[in-house]
Structure 1
Amino acid sequence: MRDILLQRGVKPESLPAAEDVKKLERRLESDEKKVSKTGESQRSNLCAHQNCSMANIQFNYLYRDGGNYKKYGSVVFANPGNVGVQELATLIQSKLIDQTWFYHHHWHLPDLRPPTFDTTIDPTWHEFENVACTSQPADMAITLAGFMALLG
């Protein structure tokens, strides 16, 4: 474990004594996801301004716990109706709580809360990040049209 931390520039002896191993592991996992998403985000930004005809739609979101540790996730919807990214983003943003949050179970999305979820300090909502075109195969049972119907 020490070697992994040192490779990532974290010196265990410089960590505050109160920081537990689980939080550190979540931080490392979050950092790894950020690094891997950087390339995807750059591709998504290019695609966000284009018409997504014949492309699937990737919905990117995250869970942020009471300690501000983040877990990123995404799902891919089939888009046979060729809905545009801007149209979808506008609809989603109109349904968010304070233009940011949503309850994953209302929208039938996977829960990103960690097993260490604590109802006394951690929020129950997830945070919307963005939507983008993707060539990845759909991994949701419902299509984008079905998802949009769930939003209302």
Structure 2
Amino acid sequence: MNTKITYLYRDASNYKNHGEEIIAGTITTEDLRPYLIENTWFDAAAFGLPELYFTPKNEDDHLWHELISCTPTPEPPTIKTTSTQILTTLKTTLNKKQIP
């Protein structure tokens, strides 16, 4: 079983880009939340997920993406990142960041 991660980028003007990627392995929203800033925010690039910034970037853009959900799926992975890689990254780096 794999996991579909649904996430969102919201700039300072509240414009939104939505994204979904499927990763190999199983991970739940509850597995991730304790490691996210305010149980919500993360750096997509550090996760190995595509960044959802608007182009061109401007002064409203920032680093943080918002986790919406993680759901099991039989669909094949859409990126090389795995559930194990994400959890390892979270446990070692992401929980040390602060929102500026």
Unaligned runs of 5+ in 2: 92-100
Aligned-residue Cα RMSD (Å) equals 1.6
Residue pair 2:24, 2:76 contacting (<8 A) in 1 also: yes
Correspondence for 1:28: none
Correspondence for 1:121: 60
Percent sequence identity is 30
Of structures 1 and 2, the larger Rg is shown by 1
Change (3 A) 1:114 1:121: closer
Equivalent of residue 67 in structure 1, options 8, 13, 23: 13
Deviation per CA, 1:44-83: give whole Å up to 9, x if none: xxxxxxxxxxx2101110101122111100111112xxx4
Q: Structure 2-normalised TM-score?
A: 0.79
In 2, the alpha carbon distance for the partners of 1:124 and 1:143 equals: 22
Deviation per CA, 1:88-120: give whole Å up to 9, x if none: 3222101111121111122121110011321x2
Higher relative contact order (CA 8 A, sep 6+): 2
Structure 2 matches for 1:16-95, cutoff 5 A?
A: 55-79=1-25, 83=26, 88-95=28-35
In 2, the alpha carbon distance for the partners of 1:94 and 1:139 equals: 25
For residue 106 of structure 1, give the secondary structure of its aligned residue in structure 2.
Answer: helix
Q: Structure 1-normalised TM-score?
A: 0.54
Aligned residues: 91
The offset of 1:138, in angstroms, is: 0.6
Unaligned runs of 5+ in 1: 1-54
The offset of 1:131, in angstroms, is: 0.4
Kindly indicate which of the two structures has a greater share of residues assigned to helix: 1
Residue pair 2:21, 2:79 contacting (<8 A) in 1 also: yes
Correspondence for 1:96: 36
